[in-house]
Structure 1
Amino acid sequence: MSKRIKSVLQYSLFIGLGVAMLYFAFRGQNIGEIASKLKSANFYWVAVAAVITMVSHLVRAVRWNMLIEPLGYRPKNINTFSAVLIGYVANFAFPRLGEVARCGTLTKTDNVPMDKLIGTVILERVVDLLSLVVILVLTVLFQFNRISSFVYDNLLKGILQKITANTLNLVVFAVIVIGLIVFGIKLFNKYKHTIYESAIGKKVMSLLEGIIHGLTSISKLSSVGGFLFYTVLLWTLYLLSTYFMFFALSSTSNLTLLTALFVLTVGSLGMAAPVQGGLGAFHWIVSKGLILYGIAELDGLAYATISHGTQTLMVIIFGGICFLWMVLNQSKKPKMSAIL
């Protein structure tokens, strides 16, 4: 199977998954009524939330620069900001492609080694994951009853039922997986010297060394306090964007900042799903979550749609502008090559 055909199949799979999740999210709902709610939305608050979101992207870019500088490179914030937005656009084309795309963009504009950048992005994602865990803990502490009900009814209940019904299959699957892992480890230990000495092995080891170098950048930060400040600021902006978007619809305008904290938490989980830009997954999990706060599922879908749609539109517009700016800027230099 050629790489092109494989890529097309993978892309089709993710698109199909996203469309399927959208279908399940909107199944049985009055689409016309949702459209009517969106038309009557207060777009002043949509604009406020959109501006805050764009500022959060800038903060992410500045924080990323703080991880890159210990490696001996000082990209301009405008270049890092452009790379972040281009990465988000790439995520709409193919999940997780954005991480590679933004590293490739900055490699092109500032000659920062790709492998080292990948290390900083992995590190950044680890920090984001830890931040999300902290937010999740805070959300649970403040709203334990609602969170426990949501998790059980929408996640654990179905999982437990499937585990109970397929215990034997799961045991067999676990045994097979463990067996393959053990076999793989033994096979690697037997031929590791040959692997290390091969051309591919040397390239892989070189790549891993660069990634590890990037991962260690956090230990060389010029200002740990500054990095923590930008991390807190980033998630505060995400929270405010979520909160102010409530005011765009009359049905959600009375929700509180604590509700926004919950929506930010579950929405982040939806955006992390392996589909383009959280398509469908974000809509489903946010609309289900808002039911706990007395918001009808249809109104929750309207909120999820305007929130996700605004973020998507802003990324496409400004990400496209950044891409064109980068191409035009690079065209002035000799030997221009592709980003990826």
Structure 2
Amino acid sequence: MPKILGEIVSSPEVFIQQLLVGLVNGALIAIIALGYTMVYGIIELINFAHGDLYMLGAFASLTVFGAFGMQDGAPLAIAIPVMLVALIVCSVFCAGLNIVVEKYAYRPLRNAPRLAPLISAIGVSFIFQNMGLFWGGLKAFIPVMGSNSAAPKSFPDLLPRVDIFKALGIQTSIVFTTKDLIVLVVAVVLMVLLHVFVQYTRLGKAMRATAQSRDAAKIMGINVDQIIALTFLIGGALAGSAGILVGLYNNTIVFTMGFTAGLRAFTAAVLGGIGNIVGAMLGGVLIGLLSSLSDQYLSSRWTNAWVFGVLVVILAFRPGGLLGENVQEKV
């Protein structure tokens, strides 16, 4: 550990660089984590299919880009409208798919023992993953998917990469591009809008009431089935948004990407206090920062062990997560 501290002191710019990288990646993890925490807060279901839903969102956005013939470095005047169309399409697609899954896979098991819907969620996860594998093999219909269904797919590099510090005349080795800023701003805006919606709108209050007690919510005249469907709709839309953001940021997607991202997002939700929106945001950022610092100062092969080790330590002292015991309302 003293060696690591020495590296941080001797190279503060490297440390700051990793903080920026971790912040952007953490914001992306937080968006996915919100889907986990919302569903758990409403019906106490760990929706393991959520990570793979995010993967399908990335594939849907790549399909849209392929349909418009988008290439690397396309003019912003053309790229921006297409990106907005792709964002709407993949958000609507993932939201609709999530509602269908809730209605036909989860709703019939709502009053069953908890193990039954959990196994159902795992089954839906495998179905989604195989949908991604099949989607990736549709070269005849979607040429941008390439020749190998299981191979990573190239995502068009559409976001500008202007170095903000150099553009401002600041001499530093720290790199923070407009691409990083765009992804970070969009992620933060989505999270803030969700928080405002849940806390200050009538539907948001109905969601919080349903999370506290479904039976009491029914007595008060709240359509619980509708509220649960709305929760899955919002979670699906966030997963689709995360899919296109990650594709634009990393410029590559693969049908297995949902497993790793879903695992880290679920960890972030538990770390922050599953069922708590602010906790999911905090947990996502912490996971991103821990992963980035571990990659730099330890080794990428130890990153998962380090992240989950920190999770175990925190939960040993705060079993409800960082914010799980401090906030009465779970959603």
Asked if TM exceeds 0.5, the reply is no
Larger radius of gyration: 1
The structure with the greater share of residues assigned to helix is 1
- TM-score under structure 2 normalisation? 0.26
- TM-score under structure 1 normalisation? 0.25
